[in-house]
Structure 1
Amino acid sequence: MLPHDLSPWGMFMNADIVVKAVMLGLAFASVITWTVFLAKAVELWITRGRTLAALGRLSEARSLGAAAEELSRLRGPGVTLFNAVQAEFRLAGDASPDGLKERVASRLERGEAATARSMWRGTGILATIGSTAPFVGLFGTVWGIMNSFIGISKAQTTNLAVVAPGIAEALLATAIGLVAAIPAVVIYNLFARTITANRASVGDMSAAILRLVSRELDRNAAPYAKAAE
């Protein structure tokens, strides 16, 4: 008869205090992974829906005034970019069109960068868990096997019934490390692809706003050009 209960819970309860700490830390990391997954998945899904909705409205607008009216009832990064452009128009006054275009492009560029930072926020913990969890689990395994060999030395026997429980407890730490790491890596890669697609949509929104600004400035400049002739 084996001297220990070799169920996962039994092995956890009979493990060394260091191995227990490692297992609990990895279990907590796994909880963090799934919490981030749920929260970030909802956030990215909402962001993408809002961006596409704003892009559809903006594509149909013929002027900045019409676009402002269409986007007034929407939210999201696309609307934030458009509001920044409107703010620049108010600050510019009667500035030259070329200078205004440069400042609008600068605002759009910084707005895209801020949106990208916001979308990536919170995903770094997934990369950290995915890269470190296997090694943390391996540390628990090494510690547990070391204690098993010390126990073998003290018992002065190599009977498998004596050796197996300690080694099984140690290997459980590696298994929990993999359980924590694999989902973290998969979810991080999934978010990376989703964020790339969202950034492309935000870039399309920025380009649409810039085209609308260019048309607006050209329309405003046309009467002055005819008067000069």
Structure 2
Amino acid sequence: MSLLYTLAAAAGAPRHLNPVKLFMDADFVVQLVMAGLILSSVWVWMIILSFSLRSGAIRKRCDAYERAFWKTKDIDAFQAEWEGRDTPSARVAAAGLAEWRASARRDLDGTRQRLSLAMDGAIAQEGEHLSERLNFLATVGSVAPFVGLFGTVWGIMNSFFQIGQQQNSSLAVVAPGISEALFATAIGLFAAIPAVIAYNRFSHRVDQLEARLQRFADRLQASFSRDLEGQ
């Protein structure tokens, strides 16, 4: 950062806002606020990238699994083949099959209820597992603007303090400090806006996955019910 600051200073009076110079000239507290917001923004974009790649891969694996599931003749071999892959549909089916094998099947209604509970629990667990990192997006989206505002308020307070110290209220004295302070709010918004958009979008994807798994579980339970009625 010191090298960037030296280069910026050597260029003379900037004709446009220089983010590096604004950061380096800011008060230490404002610098801490900016640094925290920048790190949060980087982490937000890492979550956005990783979640996008992961959710796309999961959707493709679920498509392949469900297409093959209804065609297989040997369910045990098929489940063994998919074991270890990150496929929510396979884990929901495994929960239903485990309960099916454990049930005595003398009480048909009780068996149906236990099958439903087992697969519903697996669906809820899959949704929680996929969305566990989305809480950070929600936190940044709601908190980052206020953190940036705190940096702005602190910077403006420091600017007024400098006015009192120098006994000079000219724009040349006030403007730099206020610009540095407002830059903290800009960084806060830069971190918050993508986080809010990504959180809403990814929450919708999680809801879509849960709905998809629920349809798969309903179809599987209907298959189990037909087998129960045929016994």
Residues 94 and 133 (structure 1), Cα distance of their counterparts in 2 relative to 1, 3 Å cut: closer
Task: Write the distance in 1 (CA, Å) between the matches of 2:68 and 2:171.
Answer: 71
Percent identity over the alignment? 39
Counterpart in 2 of 1:148?
159
Report how far residue 67 of structure 1 moved: 4.6
Q: 1:113 aligns with which of 114, 121, 124?
A: 124
**Could you tell which deviates more after superposition, 5-14 or 91-100?**
91-100
Deviation of 1:47 after TM superposition, in Å, equals 1.9
Q: How many residues align?
A: 215
Q: 1:8 aligns with which of 15, 19, 26?
A: 19
Find the residue that maps to 2:192 and give its secondary structure. Answer: helix
SS at match of 2:81: coil
The 1:4–1:129 alpha-carbon spacing in structure 2 relative to 1, beyond 3 Å, is: farther
Q: Does 1:195 align with 2:203?
A: no
Structure with larger RCO (C-alpha < 8 A, sep 6+): 1
C-alpha displacement of 1:51: 2.0
- Out of 59, 66, 75, the residue aligned to residue 55 of structure 1 is 66
Q: Could you list the runs of 5+ residues in structure 1 that have no partner in the other structure?
A: 222-229
1:39-81 Cα distance to aligned partner (Å, 9 max, x none): 22222112222222222233446xxx55555554334111111
**Residue 145 of structure 2 is aligned with which of 128, 131, 134?**
134
Q: Taking structure 1 as the reference length, what is the TM-score of the superposition?
A: 0.86
Aligned to 1:73: 81
Residue 94 of structure 1 and its aligned partner are, at CA, apart by: 5.4
Q: CA RMSD in A?
A: 2.0
Instruction: Report if the CA contact (8 A) 2:105-2:228 is conserved.
Output: no
Say which SS state the counterpart of residue 158 (structure 1) adopts.
coil
Unaligned runs of 5+ in 2: 1-11
Secondary structure in 1 matching 2:168: coil
Q: Distance in 1 between matches of 2:119 and 2:105?
A: 20
Amino acid at match of 1:73: E
Query: What code does the residue aligned with 1:50 have?
Result: R
The one-character-per-residue Cα deviations of 1:67-98 (angstroms, maximum 9, x if unpaired) are: 55555433411111111222223222454333
Q: Give the deviation of 1:172 after TM superposition.
A: 0.6
Q: Secondary structure at the match of 2:119?
A: helix
